Every structure is written in C-alpha cells, then in structure tokens.
Amino acid sequence: MQETTPHGLEPLEELDLSTLPVRPRTVSTSLRLNIRGRSVRLRGLRQPPTGLLGWLLILGPGLIATSAGNDAGGIATYSQAGAQYGYDLIWVMLMITLSLAIIQEMCARLGAATGRGLLDLIRERFGLGWALFAVIIILIANGGLVVSEFVGIGAAMELLGFDKFFVIPLSAVVLWYLVIFGSYGWVEKIFILMTLVFFAYPVAAIMGHPHWNQVAHGAFVPTIHKDNDYIFMLVGLMGTTITPYMQLFQQSSLVEKGVARRHYGPERIDAYVGSIFSNLMSIFMIIATAATLHVAGKTQIDTAADAAKALEPVVGHAAKSLFAVGLLGASLLAGAVLPLATSYAISEAFGVPKGVNLDFRRARIFFGLFSALIVIGAGLAMIPGLPVIQLLVGIQVLNGVLIPVILVFILLLINDERLMGNLKNTRTYNFLGWGTCAVITLAVLAMLGGQLLQHFGVIGSK
Amino acid sequence: MLSRILRFELVDAQQQRAKLRDLGTAVLDSEYPAITCLLFRNQDNQDTALAWEHVRSFDLRAGRITVDDLQQGQPVLADAQQGIVWLCRDILDALVIDLQNRRATRANDLWLEQEDGQLCLKGADTSARAILRRLSRGRFGLVRKSGIYDWKYIEFLRGDPHARQSGTGEHLRIQRLPVGEIARLTDPLPYLHAAELLTLLPDKIAADTLEIMSPERQLQVFEELDEAQALRLLELMAPDIAADLVGRLEPDTARRYLNHLSRKQSERIVELLRYPETTVGGIMTNDVVSIAADMTVAQARRVLCDRLKEPDFVHFIYVVADETSRKLRGVVSLREIFIAEETRKVEDLMNPYVVSLQPLGAAREAAYQVITSGLAALPVIGSEARLIGAVTVDAAVALAAPATWGSQAPRIFS
C-alpha cells in the first residue's frame, strides 16, 4: 500500500499500534437509567458537573423520569400510606429501595448475559407449562395495572369536571391509535410535561413543615403496627415499588440496547442509581401527605380529590386541577407503555412475530394482545361506583402478591451456570435476593392469613 | 409427535418399567437426524441413557417402547455428553430459524417418523396448536400437516457460540440465502444465537453477514467469536467496516487483533482509523483498484485480473499517473476496459472529469453528494490529488439511513 498524505494528517510511517485511535463503543457515553419503566439518558454523569446549573442539566432527565414514573396506582398507594400511617412507613421505603436495586441489577445482568427477555428464558429453561404460568402471572399483574391506569385517567378527568364514561373510552381509542400508528413519540413528551406537576410534592413536603425529627425517626427506626391494614399497606408498597412489570422491562431494555456480556459493568451502576431515583419522589409523596392529611387527622383517602389536598400548602386552591393534570399525564404514559411491553414479552415467549412496525396480519397475536389489554383495561375501569383509591391500592397489593413468583424465576435463572457463565449470582446477591423474596412472601402470607382470620371473625379489624 | 412419545413407557424383557424422559441424537449432519439414545431415570433416580440398538420394538398405539434390558443403560453425568443433542432439553421450545417462511420462531413440537427401524427427526411444529396439544396432553390440537415444517429447512441454534464449531459437516441450508437475508433473519435473535450462526457459516459468508449487521450488533456478536475466527472474518471484511468495528473494541483487544492480521489489512484499517468518524475519511474505503494511466487496455486487463481477485468494490477503476505518486487522473469503469480495443491507452478511455471528496470534509454532506451523484462511488483525494480511497454508495446510504430494518423499528423498552 502506498503512503498517503491527506490534508492535515501526517503520513503513516510505521505501523505503530501504541497510539491507536479508539472510537467510542457506543454513540453516547451517557448514563442510561431505567426508572419505573422509563428509559432516560443522563448525559455525562460519569464526569462530575460543576455548578448548580450543570447538575440540573445532567440530573434533569432522571428527575423528570421520577416524576413521570409514578403511575396512578403508585400515587394512590403512597398517598394512602402517608395519610394512614404518617411517617411510619418511610423505613420500609428505604428497605425496598435496596431490594429494588438488587433485583433490578439482577435483571439487567440476566438481559446482558443472555441477550433475551425474561419470559423467553423461562420458556426455554423451565418448559412450556411454567412459561404459561409466568405469562398468566404477568397478564394478571400487568392487566391489573392497565385497569388502574384507566381508573386514574377517569379519576383525573372527573376532577377536571368531565364525565369518565365519556373520557375513558375516548382515551383508550386515542392511545391505541397513537401507539399502533407510530405517532406516539411527541405525544409522549406532552404526557411527560404534564407529570412535572408532581414536583410540587417535594415542595409541599418542605412547605408542609413536617417534623423532621419524626421523619428521621420514621426513616430509621422501624415501627410496626400490629393490624391487618398495616400489612396490607406494606404489601401494597412493595407491589407498587418492585412491580413484576419493572423487572420485565429492565431486562428487555438491556436486550434492546444491545449490551454484551463481556462489557456488562456500567449497567450495574445504572440499575442502582435508577432505583434510588425512582424512590425519591415516592418518599416525598409520603412525607407530603403525612405532613398535611395525616397531621390533620384525615387517615383515609377515598377519592382523588382527597389525595390532591396534599398539594394545598404549595398551590392552594389550584391543588385539585394541578393534581388532576399530573395524574392524567402519568396514567396516559403508563397506559400506553404497559400493554405494549406486556404483549411484546408474551409474544417473545411464544415465538410469534412482534413489534409495532409489523402489519396486522403478520403479528395477529401481538396486536390482539395489545388491543385486548387496552379494551379490557378500559372496560373494567368503567364499572360504575368503583371505590377509586381502594381499587388502585388493591391492584398494587395484587402486584405485591405476585412479585415472589417472578422473583423465584429470576433467582433460579440467574444461578444457572450454563446460562450465566461468570455473571452468575455471587453469594451476597443470592442472600439479598432470596432474603427479599422471603420477606415479601412472609408479608404476603401474613396479609392473607390476617384477612382470613378477620373474615372468620377470629380477630377484629383493629 | 415428540410431545406424545415423551409420555411413552420403556419396558424390558424382565418387565422392568421406566418412563421415557428424553430422546438424544448425536448426528446432526444428515438432513433428518436419527435418534441414537433414550433417556430415562433408573431405580436409583439417576438419569440414564440407553443406546437405540437396544430397542426391540416401538409400539405407537400402546405407547410403549420395548427394549432388551434397562440395566444396560449408561448413567448420564451432568454435562459430560457434549456430542449429544437432547430433543426435549435442547430443541423443544428453543428458537429455530424457519427458512421456508424466513422467520425466527419456536419449536413448539417436533415431528418424528419411523424409517428403516430408526426414528428420525422429520419436522418442527411451530403452530399454536402444538402448544394446545402439549398443554392438554394430546386431547386437543390435532396434528395438522400444514403446521409442520420440514426439518431440512429448519436451522436450530443453541445460543452458545462455542457449543459447536464449524466444519462439523452439518447441513446449513441458511448459507444458500443471500447474506442480507441471513443478517435480517438474525436480527430478532438474541446475540449469542447470532454469534453461534456465524461460527457455523463458512467464513466468507459469515464476514459478509457481519458487515451487514448494525454496528451495535456487530460488536456484540464479534466479541463472542473465538479469536482465530474473529481474525479470519476481519481479514475478509471490507476495510471501512472492519475499521469501524476494530475502533470500537477494547484498545488492548484491538491492538492484539491488528498485530495478528495480515500487514496489508491491518495497515488499511489503521489508516482509516486515523480519521474521525464524522469525516469523509471515517466512512471511505481505501481498498480501491487503481491502474496507471499510460498502460494499454491489454496491459490493464492483465494487471486487473490479479487485482480484482480480492477487493469488494470494483465498479470503478481509478486511473492514476503512476503507482508511487498516485495522482488521480481520471476514472474508468470495468465495463469500458472490457469492451475497449486492446491497443488503446487507458488515458484515452478514461473520464478525466472526476468529482472528488476531501478526506477531512464532513461525512454526512459527502454521503448526500455520493447518493445524488448517481454513481457507485466518489474518489477521495488528499494533497496533490493523491488518491487515498473512495466513498461507496453503500457507505453513504448506511450513514444517511439506518443500516438495518431492525434499527429503524421503533424501540419499546429504551
């Protein structure tokens, strides 16, 4: 080969590999987080920024994702937790954050090591029967969440003065159309903007003048109430924070990003940071409702209007409509992503064509599932006279009941040497993982036992 | 159907009974692999394999397989039997590529037929009926021939690039497809499956397939290959794509590969790596064919015969003043050389009005320029009109539009 002299570059004299120019592995080196099923990029967090503006620019997308990540069920559960038990459940949230980080990290690792989704792996390792079982679990859990999103849409619109029997079918049709015909991208940004309203929560938490020493007490000294409602709430908190859906999503997003097993590493930090981010807003929500509603003696939230009162210290009378806007945005966001991700994962397990870019005839099962989830979700949400908040919390509790099942699958898969190779779980991870699984199972059993005993009148409700 | 056979019972001459657990086959090199052993659990609850020679009769109606003696079975150690593919463990429920429909799907059930005293794997059922059949233990979901695809046209992958090595004489129908189609088929597969497929394909096809994959996929798949094969593929790839790939590897790995490549290829790659990715130099190929202007057509043909053996891009032949200065004089197409009279000079034949690109110009603009020029490539020249490479229309399109269908599809999870 001839030596060449391009403009501005020295001719290549010797083949010197020591100063080899290296191109970036990926297009951007930004930190990619997964916060409650929303994937965000924090540009350049790996180089610490300077100044407040720098930090804001960098952490902005992550913070926005935390505000967008709380769906209708989450808002209801955290509000109810704060109203009913004040600061007493904050320590649980801290524990859950640790568990969530561990579990999310394991899912990320599974995704990177195998390049496949969770249901896909279950199908291949445990066979058709177990796969079907997992699919049913996921369908119940996510189907419940879809219902809760539509309930959220209805409740928000009622606060704004619209009739929910008109709004829910309309939003179902609009969401379906937007996702299938691919113009969802920019609409999503509007939904996210709407959820920015929830930044009023941290402000409300501070302006509500909580007793910070009580908050600290609630955060670090475990307080356990010995009644059924408390355990019910506990399972609800676990269910809404560690949703089975999030594990599914986390793993699939790693697969979609194309992370290779040899380069798994930075994703570990992403999973941790994402989990912490994801729970920040929830904790503020609990503090804000505790400082307003609980202190005022209102311990039972029945309607969305009650929940909105937590924002009153900040925005006064506008609290109701602002809360409604945020709730609407969050519910619409999750209402689109949830059915999509669910039908994608299930199609993967059965090996049928999937993806919104295909036409109807080629991906009948995928589109059928997606449409069915939206139709059934919207349909159930329209049953007249539903107790909104109780239903939302109930669905989160259902999710809590189903987590251990999915967790067992994850833990079994991640300890499979043939699958994971050197990315197999270490002893610490196993300890924490199985520990989380055991604690959640115990809580679920305690809840179910308590409900049964109460049902047969063995013990009173309080 | 495999789902039915798995409910069969093994009975030996002493009337000992055991439940069949799996069927194993050792040979994958025939179109319809024959079953070579049966897996069952012996009295000590140990997995035991019994060779097919011991099978006396195979009674489909009664659901019974009569064998000589169950005691003759060999215990199966966890992962000792590398050579054996177990139908239930490895193939059933696994991802397979269905070449007739050109899609990746799942083997929901397997179709076996008796042939000359052998039981052969004949097809895979990918339909939803097969799922129903398995769940209902055969009560529903009758077998329909139309839902079963001939095993000849099924490629089965294990998702482990090191499970099998190439040259094992396996029937790979997939290699008859155009490489673009192979790359498209691997798109929905997990990357380990894609890497495994590349190890099984002949190197030339594997290299071309790798070239077509999206950059992220290339990197994932490439790092799963073992080093010897990775080197062979790098050697065969077009230098511009190879440079992009090498540039994204870990610096140490990249250095090691470059040291082991042939000097020509590694010089080309290093040369290209020096240009930033966003410049013309970052997307050009420097593997172009050039001839001296003062040659006659007959001489040129002789020289070209040798030169044309390797490079990928041969539509245009660039005419340079001489091979040392490489000053670009004009361009001539392969067709013109071919049809011209032997005595004419290349100079008289060539088109001297060449639009050329600067190596440090913006890549994107150059890409549009190449696409709108309607030519297969535009040459890139350095100072004193020295020919250093060309931007091909492929590279231009790859930059202007996403490389594969997969990367155009809307993302759901990220």
Question: What DSSP string runs through A287-305?
Answer: HHHIIIIITTT-----SHH
pLDDT, tens digit (0-9, with 9 covering 90-100), for A204-241: 888 888 888 888 888 888 888 878 888 899 999 999 88
- Report yes or no: B103 at the A interface, CB cutoff 8 Å: yes
| B337-to-A460, B311, B345, B350, B351 alpha-carbon distances in Å | 98, 17, 10, 9, 12
* Residue B354, in any domain of the structure: yes
On whether ipTM exceeds 0.95, the answer is no
The yes-or-no verdict on residue B119 having pLDDT over 70 is: yes
Q: What's the angle, vertex CA A293, arms to CA A292 and CA A295, rounded to 5?
A: 70
Q: Which amino acid is at A257?
A: K
Residues in A closer than 8 angstroms to B410, CB to CB, are 182, 184-185, 355-357
How large is the angle between the packed helices A164-180 and A364-381, nearest 10 degrees? Answer: 160
DSSP letters for A34-73: EETTEEEEETTTTS---HHHHHHHHHHHHHHHHHHH--HH
DSSP designation for A311: G
Measured at the CA of B127, the angle between CA B121 and CA B132, to 5 degrees, comes to 100
Distance from the B263 Cα atom to the nearest Cα atom in chain A, whole angstroms: 9
Contact residues, chain A, for B95 at CB < 8 Å: 124, 351
Cα B332 from Cα B355, distance rounded (Å): 13
Tell me, yes or no, whether B312 lies in a domain. yes
Task: Please tell me what DSSP assigns to residue A426.
Answer: P
A96: helix, coil or strand? Answer: helix
Query: What is the three-class DSSP state of B237?
Result: coil
Distance from CA of A456 to the nearest CA of B (A): 37
Res B27: pLDDT? 61
DSSP code at position B410: P
pLDDT computed for residue B167 by the predictor: 43
Domain around B305:
290-399
Please, are residues A345 and A122 in contact by the beta-carbon 8 Å criterion? no
Record the tokens describing residue A1, joined without a space. Answer: 């080969």
> Does A39 lie at the interface with B, CB-CB under 8 angstroms?
yes
The answer to whether domain A87-289+299-455 has CATH 1.20.1740.10 is: yes
A13/B207: higher pLDDT: B207
State whether residue A368 sits within 8 Å of chain B by CB.
Answer: no
- Residue B381 in this model has a pLDDT that exceeds 60: yes
Interface check for A245 against chain B (CB to CB < 8 A): the answer is no
- Enumerate the domain spans of chain A: 87-289+299-455
Give me the number of domains chain B comprises. Answer: 1
A229 touches chain B (CB under 8 A): no
Burial class (CB in 10 A: 0-12, 13-18, 19+), A195: buried
Q: Is A11 on the interface with B (CB under 8 A)?
A: no
pLDDT in tens, A77-130: 999 999 999 888 899 999 999 999 899 899 989 988 888 889 989 988 888 889
The structure tokens listed for A218 are 């609630």
Per the CB < 8 A criterion, the answer to whether B291 and B326 are in contact is no
pTM (predicted TM-score): 0.83
Establish if B383 belongs to a structural domain.
yes
| Predicted pLDDT at A57 | 61
Which H or E element spans position B45?
Answer: none
- We report the CATH number of the domain holding residue B356 as 3.10.580.10
Structure tokens at B32: 């319809």
Q: What part of A 51-110 touches B (C-beta under 8 Å)?
A: none
Joined together, the tokens standing for residue B122 give 């004949």
Tell me which residues of chain B, numbers 2 to 61, contact chain A at a CB-CB cutoff of 8 Å: none
